[in-house]
Amino acid sequence: MSETGTSHSIFNGIRVRIGFLIVGTLAIIVLYCLAWAYPTFPGDEATLIRLQSFRSEWLDAMAVIFDNLGSLWTVLPGVVVLTVFLFLTRRYADVGLFMGGLVFVGMGKVLKLLVERPRPDYQIIEPFASGFSFPSGHSLFAVILGGVLVYWVDQWVGPKLPRRVIQILLFLVVIGMGASRVYLGVHWPSDVIGSYLLGILALTGLFWLREAWPVIRNSLG
């Protein structure tokens, strides 16, 4: 392929990604405005009640485990250790990727205050969660961290089988986190979906910047 053709291909790729991010951002804004206007979406209550109809002791225990996994004091030591490791191994682009993900997690807390959607009246395990409902902070953190870990596993784990097994397990943890929030009655299903969509959009932009970092670094001299 000629140099002109290569440049044209790269330009088209950049244009498609920017277009996706713009459309995705607009869709997220519309979704969050609807969440601000309506306390629930169609199907929210029925889905929550249906999920809680499977209640059992072992599901309660699993949901509590997921709840604890998403708490600040549980994840903070891991966040610190991982950040120090990335710095010591001079993976500065990955530090930026990780920190960028945490910024979006913090943004989720701000959005929750802006949307002000009440939590469901279906909480089943004390202590009951307080504050607002949309988006789900646990779910947003899970999809951001899970997505970053899936990306790193793809980069750092060589053999295909263990790489895929680890990635599937991470995917199941992300899904389990969202399901547990609805099962516990602390979030509506749409709270979780809103978090997943925001997280996917954020990861799309962060991965793009991560891949472009070598080019950006070289252009800066």
Instruction: Exactly one of 112, 117, 119, 187 is catalytic; name it.
Output: 187
CB atoms under 10 Å from CB of 113, counted, come to: 9
Contacts by 214-220, CB closer than 8 A, 24 or more apart: 214/93
3-state class of 11 per DSSP? helix
8 part of the active site: no
Chain-centre distance for alpha carbon 18 = 20
Query: 147 with 160: CB under 8 angstroms?
Result: no
Q: Name all contacts of 56-63 with Cβ < 8 Å and 24+ positions apart.
A: 59/183, 60/124, 60/125, 62/176, 62/180, 63/125, 63/180, 63/183, 63/184
Is-contact 172 61, C-beta < 8 A? no
Q: Which tokens is 40 given?
A: 């629930």
Which listed residue (119, 138, 181, 210) is catalytic?
138
CA-to-CA distance for 31 and 219, rounded, in angstroms?
Answer: 38
DSSP state of 159: S
Q: Residues with catalytic annotation?
A: 138, 187
